[in-house]
Structure 1
Amino acid sequence: MSVPVESIFLDRDSGRTLQQQLQKAISDAILAGRFVPGERMPSTRNLARHLGVARITVALAYTELVANDYLTARGRSGYYVSPSAPRLPSFEPAVQDSAEGPDWSRAIANSCSAPLAVYRPPDWRSYRFPFIYGQCDPKLFDHGNWRQCALQALGRTDIESLTTDYYERDDPVLVEFILRKILPRRGIVARPEQILLTMGAQNALWTAAQILLSSDRKAAMENPCYPGLRDILLKTRCDLVPVDVDGQGLPPEALPQGVDVVFTTASDQCPTNVTMPLARRKALLERAAREGFVIVEDDYEFEMSFLDAPSPALKSLDQTGRVIHVGSFSKSLFPGLRLGYIVAAEPFIRHARALRGTVLRHPPGHIQRTVAYFLSLGHFETQIARMNRRYRKRRAIMEQALQEQELEIVNRSALGGSSFWMRAPEGVDTSELARRLREEQVLIEPGEAFFSPEQGERRHFRLAYSSISSSRIPEGIERLARALRAAEVKRS
């Protein structure tokens, strides 16, 4: 029997290469049992003519399928479905009787419902004016050099980093370059024993909260704040106290008595973008030393300081080891990387390493080694410089557009960053505003999720320029201004 050439087709909308599309079409058919062992495949010439592709594309696909034992080559006779080709196991599906199933309202001991979060449509790239935060702009990412570093990390000399279970350890090459190239930019001096790699900043903050907090401890956090942190802290069942930030960030004198842990984004407050001045940082550290509490510093986006040099990290001023420093590569490289780090005193890192080992062992070795090469070969610094030049231009264009439309910027960051924190006129609900703007192809981030829920704050919103081209910013801001004016008229 022969496989009919008409039974093979390509999914040209898949985003894969033609060779990959063909390999997938044939392997899927074999796994599903549509092509059976011993059947002869169409010749490379006939299949290439049928699909409208080059004959070499079919030949390369067949060769790869032979290597993976989907096909076998028989001299001049051609290609056949391999007798030992992989097959999906076949089981009779079990019939589940929902009436006999568990009562999940009783079975679930700890609720994990989704928190109030900033809404971003999954297809946000299809919108013409996406003023959304924290996403990668493909035009700014150094894909070529990243690919070369990833390929290098797949080489024979690095096979151990790819395949080894590190248990509780980290890739020493990446740790070395964080010590040599990342932390000195923040004024931090550390030893390898004081660093732990994490699956992004979110995982780092969760780790800190799990180790430091319990139902009988008190934590203070900024208000407004990063919504993901609030959810992490609420799940510890600690006594959580929100502290309102001002034009200089978190005020140390406003912290409650008896606090055990303080969480802060001192260098670039999330989401207001204000920077805590040096005097206030020292006052916070002095109070921590005097009262015995620990500070968790989320140092996100410090690389985006293109208007002025960044202030020294809290950790760099720490003389008593009370600061736990959290960093991430999500903003400087891309958010899907999910790689961050904690810098802290050795006793804390030992506990954090043990907790990480219980939950996920370690971040993937190939990712660690790829980032290590990206840092060591100088690509990271080039990437940051490229992003900062582009962000500086976009920021200037957006700031001018906002001024022309007379929209209110709450805080103008002195360092840079990638967004503006905005305030709508009195009585405007920015969640409703965001819904109406989506019809205009404009995406903004309502501020409700950043504030304590009981506060009911709905006037603020965030506008980011990391994911929108410079040419589209003025029109997007004009549409936003029209929608705001319409909302005011409707309210009056």
Structure 2
Amino acid sequence: MTRVQTIEASALAPLLQLDRTSSLSLQDQIRRGFFNAIGSGVLPAGVRLPSSRKLADRLGVSRNTALIAYQTLIADGHLVSRERSGVFVATDMQRYQGCSMPVIGPRSGPVLSTVSARLNESVFARSTHRFPSDWQTNRYPFIEGRYDRSLFPIFEWREASRLALAAQEVETWSVDSGEADDDALIEEIRTKLLPRRGIIARPDELLITVSEQQALHLITRLFASEGTVAGVEEPGLPEMRALFEGRKARLTFLPVDDEGLIVDDKLKGCDIVHVTPSRQRPTAVTLSSARRAELLDMAAQNDFLIIEDDFECELNYLDDPIPSLRAMEGGDRVIYVASLSKVLEPGVGLGFMVAPPEVITAARRLRSLTTGRPSPNNQRAAAFFLSLGHYDSMLRRLNKVFEERLIALRDALNHYRPLSIAVAPVRGGTTYWVRGEEGLQTDKLMADAQARGVLIEAVEQYFAPGNAPTNMFRLGVTSIQSDRIRDGIAALSEAMHAVSKDGPPPSSQQATLSGEEITKTLGGVTLHYSTVYGEPCTIKLEPDGNMIGRAGSAGEDKDTGRWWVEGEKWYRQWQRWAFTEVLGFRISVDGQHLSWLDDSGRVVDSAVIMAPSV
């Protein structure tokens, strides 16, 4: 007679370690521990387990907790109960174990060599973001695309998911309807989201995708092949370049400036053009209305298609949004791609595309050959999320949070003005594209900044090989709280000054004014200069020590303060601006050009002196 192996409760304890701070119940933790131990073969088929009482005593839980865990495992087929004998690991678990492939090490040989030789990694080698895996351990992570987890609408999404799992809803979305998308979600996007971009679309002009990136993949598969001339922004998305290169298309790099894509003769030879007009990726500038019209006219004249990647179209809080290309005259040759908010992407991951019905039909057939349609359950939950107003509420909150963070970043950059920097003008979004002074080595800056707990993003990956400038970097606010931004930019400024010591000497070695000369020169004048984010600013210095500041294209941002001279330095303090701090500088004047200098003689900022009005 074969002796039955019995395992003692003491031997099970290390396999069933319980965490009472976990979100999982104790019953679920016990079940998970047993399942893992059985699946890995640690608890072999047929072994007898301790009674629920003994298990409960050893684990320090109630007997009911252990008993219910056992009963659930039995009901699921992982354990079996034999009358007057006890509880055993089910013998048919060998069948489940057979579904798992054993982990083996790599073997050398001709077969593996042949497989490896055929692997083509070049099409995606430059498409990954270069953030350290432990980025969250850094106090000042100015990186884009890694979202603060507190922004995810947990309770609202939970409600939408609960409603989607109601019996009558399951009966609707669980019916095998081929590759058709959820009608409720299509209707919500068609009637609520698209009209905000000026787009009117029929249901057969919409396709739901797993993500925005999947939509781009489907489009390149349908419209790009060997010999296709694909226009991509420069700088632009490395993922987009990789998709086109994977189709053996020939790339044309289209330069971008502070108004977005430059519309010129480089577009004439293109068959298809990818553009990010709402929030250019990666510079975050917005394609102007005039250039949008020019781009559509050129597309019609030269018969090329446009992929409109409407990234962060919802985050417009510094200016009014511009209608999408798809909504403008000539937009019939535009394929529109967008996604639900990026904050939802980690848990939801739904995007959509708008195109003529024939294109949507072809894209749906292609989608069925790869991932198939996105989860019907997720689609229905997203439909409830939109219909209940949760999406709009979330957007209002995100706009408020990101506006606060972006303005905090803008003001900190303008205040500390680390060396000579400028940022591209933006209408909203979550990033600033920063241009440093000539000679700045971003790789050295990144290393020094990270040592101070500051993460910034390099920009090499956004340019064609060999074209990346060395003095640019990107700052994002999706993963850093507002109250840390100022200190983070102060630390970044210190890093820039530290790195610059290895570079050229300070840009100004001219003589500075004495205290008496400062008072005589500046009393009653108006200073004109530009903020780091490109807006004009004037400061009127009254002879009595008061000063009046106006910033913005229409002088809409106003503040007052005072200025004075102590020793050989000029001081000023605003009531609101510059964090109301008292700051002092040495002054250098060359004709009408004034420079503010720090104690080391480095130019901090400059302005043009306008003579006092008579």
Structure-1-length-normalised TM-score? 0.91
Is 1:358 the counterpart of 2:346? The answer is no
Give CA deviations for 1:157-206 in whole Å, capped at 9, x if unaligned.
23356645553321212111111111111111101111111121111112
Whether contact under 8 Å (1:166, 1:361) holds in the other structure is no
Is 1:100 the counterpart of 2:120? The answer is no
Partner of 1:402: 413
Partner of 1:371: 382
Cα distance, 1:163–1:441 mapped onto 2, change above 3 Å: farther
Bigger CA drift: 375-384 or 147-156? Answer: 147-156
Q: One-letter code of the match for 1:473?
A: I
Supply the RMSD in Å over aligned alpha carbons.
Answer: 2.7
Cα distance, 1:43–1:232 mapped onto 2, change above 3 Å: same
Partner of 1:480: 492
Q: Structure 2: how far apart are the matches of 1:201 and 1:363? A: 12
Is 1:279 the counterpart of 2:290? The answer is yes
Partner of 1:451: 463
Q: Structure 1: how far apart are the matches of 2:425 and 2:65? A: 54
Whether contact under 8 Å (2:325, 2:331) holds in the other structure is no
Deviation at 1:439, TM superposition (A): 2.8
Q: Structure 1: how far apart are the matches of 2:7 and 2:297? A: 77
Is 1:69 the counterpart of 2:77? The answer is yes
Is 1:4 the counterpart of 2:8? The answer is yes
Deviation at 1:112, TM superposition (A): 4.4
Q: Structure 2: how far apart are the matches of 1:420 and 1:191? A: 36
Deviation at 1:40, TM superposition (A): 4.5
Cα distance, 1:113–1:177 mapped onto 2, change above 3 Å: closer
Whether contact under 8 Å (2:124, 2:242) holds in the other structure is no
Deviation at 1:110, TM superposition (A): 8.2
Deviation at 1:222, TM superposition (A): 1.2
Match of 1:180 among 187, 191, 202: 191
The structure whose residues are more often helix, as a share, is 1
Q: Structure 2: how far apart are the matches of 1:142 and 1:338? A: 14
Q: Structure 1: how far apart are the matches of 2:168 and 2:84? A: 38
Q: One-letter code of the match for 1:31?
A: G
Is 1:231 the counterpart of 2:235? The answer is no
Whether contact under 8 Å (2:123, 2:245) holds in the other structure is no
Cα distance, 1:103–1:336 mapped onto 2, change above 3 Å: same
Q: Structure 2: how far apart are the matches of 1:104 and 1:91? A: 20
Whether contact under 8 Å (2:316, 2:399) holds in the other structure is yes
Cα distance, 1:19–1:170 mapped onto 2, change above 3 Å: same
Cα distance, 1:162–1:14 mapped onto 2, change above 3 Å: farther
Is 1:463 the counterpart of 2:475? The answer is yes
Match of 1:191 among 174, 181, 202: 202
Q: Structure 2: how far apart are the matches of 1:94 and 1:273? A: 46
Q: SS at 1:483's partner residue?
A: helix
Bigger CA drift: 191-200 or 59-68? Answer: 59-68
Is 1:158 the counterpart of 2:158? The answer is no
Structure-2-length-normalised TM-score? 0.74
Whether contact under 8 Å (2:142, 2:479) holds in the other structure is yes
Higher relative contact order (CA 8 A, sep 6+): 1
- Matched pairs, number: 491
Cα distance, 1:15–1:440 mapped onto 2, change above 3 Å: farther
Deviation at 1:123, TM superposition (A): 2.5
Q: SS at 2:344's partner residue?
A: coil
Structure 1: gaps (5+ residues):
none
Q: Structure 2: how far apart are the matches of 1:202 and 1:472? A: 32
Cα distance, 1:60–1:458 mapped onto 2, change above 3 Å: farther
The structure whose residues are more often strand, as a share, is 2
Cα distance, 1:165–1:491 mapped onto 2, change above 3 Å: farther
Cα distance, 1:185–1:48 mapped onto 2, change above 3 Å: farther
Match of 1:88 among 97, 101, 111: 97
Q: SS at 2:494's partner residue?
A: helix
Is 1:18 the counterpart of 2:26? The answer is yes
Task: Report matched runs for 1:47-446 at 5 Å.
Answer: 47-73=55-81, 79-85=87-93, 87-89=96-98, 98-101=108-111, 102-104=113-115, 106-108=117-119, 112-160=123-171, 163-164=174-175, 166-319=177-330, 321-407=332-418, 408-414=421-427, 416-446=428-458
Q: Structure 1: how far apart are the matches of 2:103 and 2:367? A: 36
Q: SS at 1:347's partner residue?
A: helix
Q: SS at 1:114's partner residue?
A: coil
Q: SS at 1:255's partner residue?
A: helix
Q: SS at 1:490's partner residue?
A: coil
Q: Structure 2: how far apart are the matches of 1:105 and 1:93? A: 19
Q: One-letter code of the match for 1:460?
A: M
Bigger CA drift: 151-160 or 101-110? Answer: 101-110
Q: SS at 1:168's partner residue?
A: coil
Q: Structure 1: how far apart are the matches of 2:45 and 2:115? A: 45
Deviation at 1:91, TM superposition (A): 8.3
Deviation at 1:239, TM superposition (A): 2.2
Q: SS at 2:342's partner residue?
A: coil
Q: SS at 1:311's partner residue?
A: coil
* Structure ID, larger Rg: 2
Cα distance, 1:14–1:444 mapped onto 2, change above 3 Å: farther
Deviation at 1:445, TM superposition (A): 0.8
